[in-house]
Amino acid sequence: MLLFVYSMTCLKSSAQEASRRFYYFSEDILVGSGLGLDVGLHYVGVSKLTLELGYTTYLLPSNKPEDFRIHPVIAIISFGLGNPTDRIRTYRACIGKIINLNPAKTIRANLSAGLSYNDHRKVANWSAVPFGEGTNGANYIYENVDGSSIGLVLLPKVEFAFSRYVGFSVAMNSMLSTKKSTYGLSVGLMIGLVRSKKL
């Protein structure tokens, strides 16, 4: 009888702990150093500790010569995307902490930080040519130079989980590295089990 009571108590405790764990997917649009897209997979444990695996891609203005020009036809048909841009792709792993900001636990701070591996592509080696003979009909030819770095990610968020399965967030997304640092303000959507009944 005692063994049965003990077993039921353990099962109830395990169920309560499981109900306090949740996980969700996020997708954010970033504006700051450039324009970017961020996606992440989030897990929140029973102690309000968080684990996130994420990916960010940034398009950044390149350091173009002052007299750089692109062929107007190319500019029109490419909607401006024919202009050379630098790019950074960031793969990160972060840990953090949830802090509830209201009694209903539907608004919370998610303070996280971690490390990232960054894949850089920079436009370089500019060389002037007659207008129309360069890359994309420009007056320069140039090359894409690839590199990589390790970065420190700081990702404080305010999350609004008004539903158990859908929410949205506002965040400051910063990546610091010796090669190129980025920062931005992001607004995003959260989908999944974004909060538990007990947090």
pLDDT tens per residue, range 34-90: 899 999 999 999 888 999 999 999 999 888 888 888 877 777 776 666 788 899 999
What is the C-alpha to C-alpha distance for residues 42 and 25, in angstroms, rounded to an integer?
6
What is the C-alpha to C-alpha distance for residues 167 and 27, in angstroms, rounded to an integer?
11
Please identify which residue in the block is written with the tokens 């401006």.
80
Bridge partners, residue 165, by sequence: none
Highest mean pLDDT among 5-9, 50-54, 125-129, 138-142 belongs to 50-54
Q: Which pLDDT score is estimated for 17?
A: 45
Are 60 and 31 a contacting pair, CB within 8 Å? no
Q: What is the pLDDT of residues 25-36, one digit of tens each?
A: 999 999 998 899
Return all residues near 34 (Cβ < 8 A) that are at least 6 apart.
58, 59, 60, 61, 85, 86, 182, 184
DSSP 87: E
What is the C-alpha to C-alpha distance for residues 46 and 64, in angstroms, rounded to an integer?
50
pLDDT exceeds cutoff 70 at 189: yes
Q: Which pLDDT score is estimated for 94?
A: 98
DSSP 21-45: -EEEEEEEEEEESSEEEEEEEEEE-
Of 86-90, 127-131, 154-158, where does mean pLDDT reach its minimum?
Answer: 127-131
Domains and CATH numbers, the chain: 22-192 (2.40.160.20)
Q: What is the pLDDT of residues 96-111, one digit of tens each?
A: 999 999 998 899 999 9
